[in-house]
Every structure is written in structure tokens, then in C-alpha cells.
Amino acid sequence: MKAPYGLFRSVLAGVLLAGAAVVSAGCAAEEKPTLVVLGPWTDGEEIPFKAALAKIGERTGRHYVYEGTRSLRETLVAQLRTDAPPDVAILNGTGELAEYALDGDAQPLPPDVENEAIGPWAPRFPVTDNDGDADVHAYWVPVRVDLKSIVWSKAGEEQADAEEAVWCLGMASGATSGWPGTDWIEDLLLQRHGYEVYEKWATGNQAWDRGPVKEAWQEWAAVLATDGTANGLNSLTRHFESLGAGRYGLLNGKDCTREHQGSFIRRHYGLDVTPAPTANFVAGLPADRNVFEVSGDMAAVFKPSDAAWELLLELTSPRAQADWVEAADPGERPYFPSGAAGITGTAGTSAPTGASAAVLRMFNNADQICFDASDAMPSTLRGAFQRAVLQFLEKPQDTVALDDLLGQLEAERLLQRRAGAFVLDDLCEEPPGGVPGG
């Protein structure tokens, strides 16, 4: 029996209307603003950041896609070459970011965002346009910071003269292997000679092959000599944090008792591992200098839009910082430069762990904090520095080999100076007044 024509027409109309509604909903979903954020966090470390992004999306009505990679420079360079940059990239090298600004890829911050460019993580510097005019701007904002110049140890290993002490050394880190060693050189130079010499070196105005810089390498060689000959060589293939088989944190292994590493590493440890200044563990360093090296993850806009600038303001806001803290485990809560979010996030968040509280005290009580020297250098010198560390660790007691390495680094410094590649000149400041986290 055939259905009446009128009934068939009504059913068809209903189907068409339903289909139109589905298409309309699909178009609306496709039209929802989407921004791509490229960043350094992977392997679970990105989870609280993505949770904070989702909260920002609820407030702004925009959709954010996070892409995490341990090979940030290689990934971003490839995207720029194909004219497909992310809207926002979060990088840890101010020297590299300065290069992107000089090339016109990283965009200058508008006035309302520039207020969030907190030093020493986000210095202002001049960039010359096509007409030869130079304007001074900030080009990125810090969204997360960490303290370096610290050593981690278990109970009973707090003193410089502790017997049977062995340094944890792991240099492997994907495309940027060697950076834990550059941290050693930078910290020893800072602690031995002070922040003014450190800043002079990091900005290209201090020779590598003599004076304080050479002394820092020699001092590291002396530190390594206490461990036996195999530790430095084995570190070339040892990951800086992974023990393999899903285990992390070099101090959780059985081969070492002290780890020179940034505050981020606390996420792998329990309450039995605590941080203290490097001077507590390296005999002969001045105990009263009270200066610390710091690092940061800085956000820059590579595809300018109102939505991108809005995201930078959101990422540096107390609300987003509190969301980030709230989503992270106690030992993984980030530190921030502005003191805006509060150590415990929102009211329901537990107090910071002992290690986190200790890091905060060092941060806030420092006389000077200095941005990571190699991260502020031109990228070619930074890479040469990292490779030199790896070569040095093959035979750290070979003075002829060290002279050769430092001669090569000095030649690279002079080359970069002639090219005008050193554009940052202000890397050390007093703490900005609180670095909350957890």
C-alpha cells in the first residue's frame, strides 16, 4: 500500500530540515575560531597546560590546539619555511626568539600585552624595519619559569664534603643534547665570578678561551674528577631524566647521589629529595653570593590576530595561572614570574611540597636572578656550546683538547659579534616580587 502523497511530502520536508540542521551545526563547529599553540611539553607534562587552555577556551569561546615537541626549533623552522607557522609558539631560548623578531616572524607586542613582558625573561630591544628605523619593543611574554643554580640530593647528602658522593650526569635530550652540561658551566661562572661577568659573557663581550670562562670549564673538570673517569663518558648516552622502563629521575637510580638540575625536575621525586644552592655542594664557591640562574618558557605570536594577543593576555593572567596550578600534581605545579596566581592556586589546592617551597624561598630571597646564558645566545653559538660540552665529556681532563674546544667557541663568538647577532644585553635583575607555583 502506497503512502498518501501529502504524508510523503511532510516526511521528506522533515528529513530535509533535519539535514539542514546538521549541516548548519557542522558549519558552526567549523567556524569556531581555532588557534594552534606550539610548545615544549610532552609525555604527560603537557596535560595540566592543556587543561588550562581548555579553561581559557571556555571563557573566550575559541578552540585551542596544542602541539608539543622536544624538537621545538626544528619544528618551528620547518613550519616557517612552508609558511604555516603556529599562531603562538612557546620557546625557551630568548636568543632564538630575538632572531625570529629580527626576521619579522615573531611579532612585537601591542601596548596592553607588553605590560606582561617581565624581566629578565622578556627584555625589550630594538629591531630595524625596512626603512631603517629602529623601534624598541618586547616580542614575547614568560608564561612559566624555573630556577637553576640548584643541586638535588637525598637526606644526608647536603654537604660539599660528603663522602662517596657521585654526580648524576645525563646529557642526552633529543636534538638539544648537551644542555645539562652548559647549565653547569654557566652556573659555575655565575657563582665564582658574579652576575656582571656572567652577563658580559652571555651577551658576547667576554672571551671564551681565557679568563673566567676558561676557569669555569676547568672547575667543572675538577668536579668531574671526583667521580672517576667513566661517569662523564657514560653521560653522553644517558638521558637527562629517564631511567628507562617508565622510570624517571636520575636520583631514583642507584648510581649517583647529587643532581645539578632545574626546578622542573622535582616532579620525579618525593619528599626525601630536596634542593639547595650549588655553592653548598661545590667546595670553594662563595657561599654568600646569592645569585641564581633562571630559565623560562616564553610565548610569542607568529600569526598575529586579536585572538592570538588575547591568548597571551590569558596565559599570563592570574586566572589561567591558577587553573594551571589546579590541574597539576603538587610536584608538577609551574612557577610564574609575576607573583599573580598564588602558591596554592585556588582555595581548594593543597599547600606546596617541601621542595617547591624551598625553591620559592631561593627565588624570592635572591639578590639577582640571571637568565640562562646559552638560551640568550645566538642559536648557532648555543648549538656549538652544547656540542662542545659533549666533546669535553669524552676526556674532561685533557687540557689540550679543552683549549681546542674553547678556541673554536671563541671564533664562533667573534663571528656572531661581527654579524650583529648578539642583540640582548640585559639578562640579570632583582627578583620581580614572587614566583608562585607549588
Domain shared by 61 and 159, yes or no: no
Confidence at residue 377, expressed as pLDDT on a 0 to 100 scale: 97
Residue 286 has a CB neighbour count (10 Å cut-off) of 12
Do 195 and 208 reside in the same domain of the chain? Answer: yes
265 and 409 fall within a common domain: yes
CA 223 to chain centre: 26
Residues 154 and 289 placed together within one structural domain of the fold: yes
The amino acid sitting at 145 is V
Find out whether 46 and 39 touch, Cβ atoms under 8 Å: yes
Asked if residue 78 belongs to a domain, the reply is yes
Position 349 scores a pLDDT of 54
Asked whether residue 282 is domain-assigned, the answer is: yes
Which pLDDT score, from 0 to 100, does residue 123 have? 94
For residues 165 and 226, the answer to whether their CB atoms sit within 8 Å is: yes
The parts of the chain modelled with pLDDT lower than 70 are 1-32, 156-163, 339-351, 433-438
Rounding to the nearest 10 degrees, give the CA dihedral for residues 96, 84, 298, 168: -70
When divided into structural domains, the chain yields a total of 2
Residues 341 and 215 in one domain: no
CA distances from 287 to 139, 148, 151, 192 (A): 36, 16, 14, 10
- At 344 the pLDDT is 43
Q: pTM for this structure?
A: 0.88
Same domain? 302 vs 289: no
107 in Cβ contact with 302 (< 8 Å): yes
Q: What is the dihedral of CA 294, 195, 171, 279, to 10 degrees?
A: -90
Based on the domain organization, do 192 and 327 belong to the same domain? no
Does one domain contain both 138 and 52?
yes
Say if 84 falls within a structural domain: yes
* Within-domain flag for 410: yes
Q: pLDDT tens for residues 247-294?
A: 999 999 999 999 999 999 999 999 999 999 999 999 999 989 999 999
- Give ∠ CA 419-422-427 in degrees, rounded to 5: 175
Q: Are residues 378 and 245 in the same domain?
A: yes
- Residue at 436 is within a domain: no
The three grid cell numbers given for residue 115, joined into one nine-digit string: 605590560
Task: Give pLDDT tens digits for 390-412.
Answer: 999 999 999 999 999 999 999 99
- Model pLDDT, residue 133: 81
In a domain, 13, yes or no: no
Residues in the chain: 438
pLDDT score for 351? 66
Q: Domain containing 43 — which CATH number?
A: 3.40.190.10
Range of the domain at 71: 33-145+296-350
Note whether 168 and 178 are same-domain residues.
yes
Which amino acid type is present at position 69?
T
Do 51 and 122 belong to one domain? yes
Instruction: Calculate helix-pair angle for 179-193, 195-202, nearest 10 degrees.
Output: 140
DSSP, res 316: T
Strands, DSSP E only, in 164-257? 167-168, 242-244, 247-248
| Residues 271, 338 within the same domain | no
Cβ atoms of 63 and 328 within 8 Å: the answer is: no
Task: Please give the pLDDT value at position 174.
Answer: 85
Q: Quick check: is 70 in a domain?
A: yes
Residue 225 lies in a domain: yes
- CB neighbours of 234 closer than 8 A, spacing ≥ 6? 169
